[in-house]
Amino acid sequence: MTAHLEHFTTTITPAQTHTREFLEIGRCAGQFPSAMARVPDGTTEVSVWCSNDYLGMGQHPAVLAAVHNAVAKYGAGSGGSRNIGGTNHCHVELERELADWHGKDAALLFSSGYAANDGALTVLAGTPDDTVVFSDELNHASIIDGLRHSGATKRIFRHNDVGHLARLLAETDPKAPKLIVLESVYSMSGDIAPLAEIADLAERHGATTFLDEVHAIGMYGPQGAGIAAREGIADRFDVIMGTLAKGLGTVGGYIAGPKALVDYVRTTSRAFVFTTSMPPATAAGALAAVRHLRGSEAERRRLAENAQLLHRLLDDAGIPFKSSDSHIVSAMVGDDALCKRASALLLDRHRIYVQAINAPSVRPGDELLRIAPSATHTTTDVKEFASALAGIWLDLNIPTVSMRRGAASTAKAVV
């Protein structure tokens, strides 16, 4: 062992290496949310309640048929980067469909949503080099990394705080190029940004806008084009960023926007230029998913019904959750050990899989169970899940809404 490796292995603390545990699951094709999970005594069937495949498109017959057909026609991989032998007609068709979906001139595919944010923002936030970026404090790690890599000057505004953003913009040199970066639906809180107000500020200060719609595309708006489309203001956001891995059920990411901007990213983003392109079969599956969702309201309607029912049942049980704005239901635990214990009991007692979310995905003290009802859960599934969670909440004495209010009132009285 080298001196460096020995130093590395001896300085890592147990807390740094044992904070996360992964459950090995195999989703059952055509039967989602059912999956087979490996547990200490073998395998068991579980119901998945934390998947990002919100609409079940990863199991949809049209998507599976498109993937199978493309594999039979083109093989498993793309064979190269987009620039060198790796651009298939499936990629081109998908980019055209995504651009049209969002009402933009062009779109560009990346290997993942993370790569799309990191790769696009690295070049967009850094051009011109005196650009000042305004970023919501709860933006995803991929956004944070892209802004870091850009070298741009950053101004972080408080989460969804339009007043704070307005003050930061007003304090900035009016002549400086400005970029506002935000998400529509936030992944850990499930709340929705005040898009119209932020668009107003962007226009007032001449700022370019970059909107991450990862947790919204497919689920909201006309044809599932996202929250900005739902509010009729998609044209007020210069760049829409999305993923193929959530509402579309496959894998990959993209940006859509003005042709000149997209071409600039295509030419200069290292995350795009220097990597093998996604398999044609993946692009074909995503294309089938987009086309289906543009013409079908059934999946969106079912997801909304399940989310609204779960919100009501958790309210009735006194289980606190961060927001009822969206389909993401983040049950607030606030303790790392308790959160992991609740997740383990759901699996052991009820064969329900919900992953405990801890730092660094959330701040210490904000640990939660990130619950994701899907369009494929039944009404009975939702009721049984809420009942199981309420029982575990009681058994572990996790603070309820009334307990939290009482503690807050006591703390205020002491102050």
Residues with catalytic function:
246
Beta-sheet strand order (sheet of 253-257): 106-110, 253-257, 239-243, 208-212, 178-183, 132-136, 153-157
Nearest by Cα to 247 from 321, 143, 325, 326: 326
Structure tokens that stand for 374 in this block: 């899907």
The encoded tokens of residue 32 equal 């989602």
How many other CB atoms are there within 10 angstroms of residue 196's CB atom? 13
Which one, of 240, 233, 184, 173, lies nearest residue 209 by Cα? 240
Q: Which two tokens stand for residue 125?
A: 């936030």
Amino acid sitting at position 405: R
Write the CA distances from 56 to 15, 52, 187, 238, 356, integer angstroms. Answer: 35, 9, 18, 29, 22
CA–CA dist 136, 185 (Å, integer) = 12
Alpha helices in 175-325 (DSSP H): 195-205, 227-230, 259-268, 270-273, 280-295, 298-317
Q: Which amino acid is at 15?
A: A
Find the DSSP H helices in 18-130.
61-74, 89-101, 113-124
**Distances 222 to 96, 294, 296, 326, 414 between C-alpha atoms, Å:** 18, 8, 10, 16, 50
Helices and strands (H and E) in the chain: how many: 16, 14
Q: Which residue reads 């057909």 in tokens?
A: 69
Using left for φ > 0, alpha for ψ between -120 and 50, and beta otherwise, residue 161 falls in beta
